[in-house]
Amino acid sequence: MVSLTDLPSPSTAYAAYASISASFMLLQTTFHQIVPRPVQDFLLSAFFRIFKRTNTSLLNLVIDQFDGMSRNDLFDSFELYMSTKTNPKTHRLKLTKSSKEKHINIKLAQSEKIMDVFQDIEIKWLFICEESDNSARNSSGRPSSKIPDDFGNRPWQFKTKQWFELSFEKVHKDVVINSYIPYVLEESKAIRNAKKVVKLHTLANNAYFAETPAWDSINLEHPSTFEKLAMEPSEKKALRDDLDLFVQRKEYYKSVGRAWKRGYLLYGPPGTGKSSLIAAIANYLKFDIYDLQLMNVKHDSGLRKLLLATANRSILVIEDIDCSVELPDRNAKPVPSDRHPRDVQFSLSGLLNFIDGLWSSCGDERIIIFTTNHKDRLDPALLRPGRMDMHIHMSYLTMNGFKTLASTYLEINHQHWRFREIEQLLGSVEATPAEVAEELMRTCDADACLGGLVNFLKDKKRKRTIVESGEDANPGAETTDGDDTTPGVELIPKAKKIKTNGLQDVFCHK
């Protein structure tokens, strides 16, 4: 039996502990200095594999980064989810950020472990990365600075094997696979949507001559929102409700046998906010915009490839469909436009086939938007339900729309003494939101801006009265072709447009 006198004193025990700790720290430092990092990673992963073989009560799920040559969507979702599960016990993380991203991306470093709990089940996450070919690294152990290929892939992309391993008790297999993994996928989807930067895609410079036309993209920095649009509140609510219903009805579209898409036609005079409404829709839904310029498309096959290259959850925009290109008749040979001479070989039927034909099913959750200043000039085939499901008239500015502009530009959220006069003027003249917004930006003084707007609207009313009466606004002025500053030159074309271009249809929609 050991007596108390045989035990070492506390000072002796502490000295022994300090000596052992110092020796261990020295050994660890020497190990890190002598053994290369790849060898350390290999030994660590081998240790975990040996440990796992001895623990027969655990089940391990492996999620590789690639499934053959295709990227594994599960890996990307899990990587995004794990970036939110870091804690004070996490030792090493990787930070990345590209020039086009606004957020810093947080990822797990090699062999880092994270513990997660789901329905009282402990789930251990382990991230492992192995180099299968050392030629992808230079003498310093870092990736070589080779130039990416044409597809944006790095030379070492397929040389590095990365995967996640989930470890948990075998008895929880069904819960983890059937409940936990779907939960992680939903969480990662929400994280991705919150961090997503909306992109604006346009055709590449050589799209017209290329056999396979492609898209270029930039970040969409347009700040337009529904709250800032100078539209009637009832119209904005109806559109938002329609968009919300559309994105929630995936299973419904599938059950009725229709492609999951929605078509909108925006029509009305220039300057009424059609482009701003498109940007507001994109910002509201976090959908990318694909701006398709038909005059840069040569063949039906090129059009089809471009449309197939658009991603899900996107908005395809064809602006000024009535004048961007002369769409050939469906039953006649294409005729090139004199304004843009070329060998046009795509047809209206090719466009319609993607909008509402067999090719329309090659993608999900897509919105197609056409804009035009003259709805009556469009082929009726473009307007029927199923192609353009909702026709939205972008009218001249109303008083409700003006109040939105006054709140946005001048921060006037109350009744101003100028509002009654402005309301009367807006009821008798046609002013676009763009024209009024320009007047409201002239100075920071709200009273001065509103006074200038009243004078602007009175001047428009005076000019309209003169045009309707057939008189010259400035009899002594000399009219010269091409002089846009001479009032007499502006009034004569306007009088002709009012008589011949069917603008009465626009007036009656006011």
* Predicted confidence (pLDDT) at residue 26 exceeds the cutoff of 50: yes
pLDDT at 326 over 80: no
Q: What is the pLDDT of residues 64-99, one digit of tens each?
A: 888 876 778 888 888 888 878 776 667 777 777 766
Is the same domain home to 190 and 257?
no
Q: Please indicate, yes or no, whether residues 210 and 107 belong to a single structural domain of this protein.
A: no
More confident residue, 493 or 142: 142
Structure confidence at residue 36 (pLDDT): 80
C-alpha torsion angle, residues 407, 268, 506, 492 (rounded to 10): 100
- Does one domain contain both 361 and 224? yes
Q: Which of 321, 274, 270 is nearest to 295 (CA)?
A: 321
Indicate whether 459 belongs to any domain.
no
Q: H or E segment at 312? A: none
Question: Does residue 423 lie within any of the structural domains?
Answer: no
Same domain, 286 and 358: yes
Q: How many domains does the chain have?
A: 3
Q: Residue 346: CB partners within 8 Å, gap ≥ 6?
A: 294, 297, 298, 299, 300, 302, 303, 328, 334
What is the arithmetic mean of pLDDT over 372-383? 85
- 185: which 2 tokens? 């996928």
Say if residue 305 is in the same domain as residue 216. yes
pLDDT tens column, 166-184: 899 999 999 999 999 999 9
Residue 438 lies in a domain: no
Q: What is the mean pLDDT of residues 195-211?
A: 75
**Distance between CA atoms of residues 423 and 460, nearest Å:** 14
Q: Give the whole-angstrom CA distance, residue 265 versus residue 242.
A: 14
Cα–Cα dist 208/230, whole Å = 37
pLDDT at residue number 452: 94
Does 340 have pLDDT greater than 60?
Answer: no
Average confidence (pLDDT) over 461-473: 79
Note whether 183 and 206 are same-domain residues: no
Q: Tell me the per-residue pLDDT of 406-432, one tens digit each, with 9 for 90 and over.
A: 999 999 988 899 999 999 999 999 999
Instruction: Give the C-alpha separation, 232 to 223, whole Å.
Output: 19
Task: Report the chain's mean pLDDT, rounded to a whole number.
Answer: 76
* Domain range for 480: 470-510
> In terms of domains, do 183 and 312 share one?
no
For residue 42, pLDDT over 70 is answered with yes
Q: Are 173 and 255 in the same domain?
A: no
Q: What is the DSSP string of 433-451?
A: HHHHHHHHTS-S-HHHHHH
Asked whether the beta carbons of 450 and 442 are under 8 A apart, the reply is no
Measured between alpha carbons, how far is 318 from 371 in angstroms, rounded to an integer?
Answer: 7
| pLDDT of res. 52 | 54
Least confident of 18-32, 336-350, 389-403, 415-429: 336-350
**Is the same domain home to 184 and 214?**
no
Tell me the pLDDT band of 486, cut-offs 50, 70 and 90: very low
